[in-house]
């Protein structure tokens, strides 16, 4: 099986060799979270690494990723480098690994430096008593506005994919799960739709709409009406898909 590996340029040979051995032994290592993709935190020297093993794709995508499209691991690595150059927070990219046969794409791994955070956006959706709650939510909205202004459309802008660190009296934001992004100018509708996976709570949409209106100079009602409409539409699609999956599972032997 062919192995393709790309390391960050500031790593030394011994570190690269140790990391390669860990990747080869990944399945035998203890721990790990996730169902479809598995994440394990492994330490080399003084560095805690976040290693994400992507599930082997279906047969069609094995051909696609082998010949026509960059893998999720490669895109995660390259997008992380690009985000950092653009001044957007994300855990430092370390390496990616791919394993292929002559015809089919198999395993892939994305390695980044583990970033310890104080909370994630997801916690804002479940605990409204978090200290500085309104401040954090508004700061997150301004962070999203900055993404949009820089031409970054983070397609997986969902509750678990933004890490939050308190930095004195301010908050810093870091994107994870990076393999789905588009780059280029965003129109108004695309910008507002980018919020629709983030929450089911109308009160949060009201605050984000208010702060985004302040950032853009657009009318609050125009922003809120579209953001809430798209949020409800997304939730309806999500639960419809979930119900369909449950029905299909019922008929499984």
Decide which of 3.30.310, 1.10.510, 1.10.357, 2.60.40 is the CATH code for 119-241: 1.10.510
8: helix, strand or coil: coil
Q: Looking at residue 9, what is its pLDDT?
A: 86
How large is the greatest C-alpha to C-alpha distance in the chain, in angstroms?
A: 57
Give CA angle at 142 (141, 147), nearest 5°. Answer: 95
Domains 2-113 and 119-241 share a fold: no
C-alpha dist (Å) from residue 219 to 147, 209, 227 = 20, 9, 12
Q: Looking at residue 247, what is its pLDDT?
A: 61
Instruction: Kindly indicate whether the domain formed by 2-113 is annotated with CATH number 3.30.200.
Output: yes
- CA 232/CA 246 separation, integer angstroms: 21
Interacting residues of 37 by C-beta distance below 8 A, sequence separation 6+:
52, 53, 54, 55
Per-residue buried b or exposed e for 20-50, using 16+ beta carbons within 10 Å of the residue's own CB:
eebbeebeeeeeeeeeebbebebebeeeebb
Residues 84-133: pLDDT tens digits?
A: 999 999 999 999 999 999 999 999 999 999 999 999 999 999 999 999 99
Residue 97 has φ and ψ, to the nearest 5°, of -130, 140
Q: Looking at residue 238, what is its pLDDT?
A: 72
Gyration radius from the chain CA atoms: 20
Which band of pLDDT confidence, cut at 50, 70 and 90, is reported for residue 155?
very high
Per domain, the residue ranges of the chain are 2-113, 119-241
> Is the model more confident about 243 or about 214?
214
Of 112, 111, 115, 117, the residue nearest 140 (C-alpha): 117
Is residue 251 scored above 60 in pLDDT?
no
C-alpha dist (Å) from residue 220 to 208, 213, 229 = 10, 5, 14
Enter the pTM of the model: 0.91
Q: Looking at residue 246, what is its pLDDT?
A: 66
Q: If you average pLDDT over each of 31-35, 174-178, 247-251, which comes out highest?
A: 174-178
Q: Looking at residue 237, what is its pLDDT?
A: 84
């Amino acid at each position: 099986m062919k192995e393709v590996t790309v390391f960050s340029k500031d790593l030394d040979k011994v570190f690269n060799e140790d990391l390669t051995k860990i990747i080869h032994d990944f399945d035998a290592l203890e721990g790990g979270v996730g169902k479809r993709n598995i994440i394990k935190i492994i330490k080399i020297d003084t560095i805690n690494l976040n290693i994400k093993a992507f599930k082997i794709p279906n047969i069609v995508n094995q051909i696609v990723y082998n010949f026509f499209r960059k893998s999720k691991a490669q895109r995660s690595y390259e997008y992380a480098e690009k985000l950092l150059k653009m001044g957007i927070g994300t855990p430092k990219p370390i390496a990616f690994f791919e394993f292929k046969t002559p015809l089919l794409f198999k395993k892939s791994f994305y390695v980044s430096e583990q970033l310890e955070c104080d909370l994630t956006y997801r916690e804002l959706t479940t605990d409204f008593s978090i200290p500085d709650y309104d401040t954090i939510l508004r700061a997150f909205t301004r962070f999203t506005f900055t993404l949009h202004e820089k031409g970054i459309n983070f397609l997986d802008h969902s509750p678990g994919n933004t890490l939050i660190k308190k930095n004195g009296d301010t908050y810093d934001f870091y994107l994870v799960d990076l393999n789905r992004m588009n780059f280029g100018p965003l129109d108004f509708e695309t910008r507002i739709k980018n919020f629709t996976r983030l929450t089911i709570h109308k009160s949060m949409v009201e605050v984000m709409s208010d702060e985004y209106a302040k950032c853009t100079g657009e009318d609050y009602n125009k922003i809120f009406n579209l953001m809430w409409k798209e949020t409800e539409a997304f939730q309806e699609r999500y639960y419809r898909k979930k119900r369909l999956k449950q029905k299909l599972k019922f008929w499984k032997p």
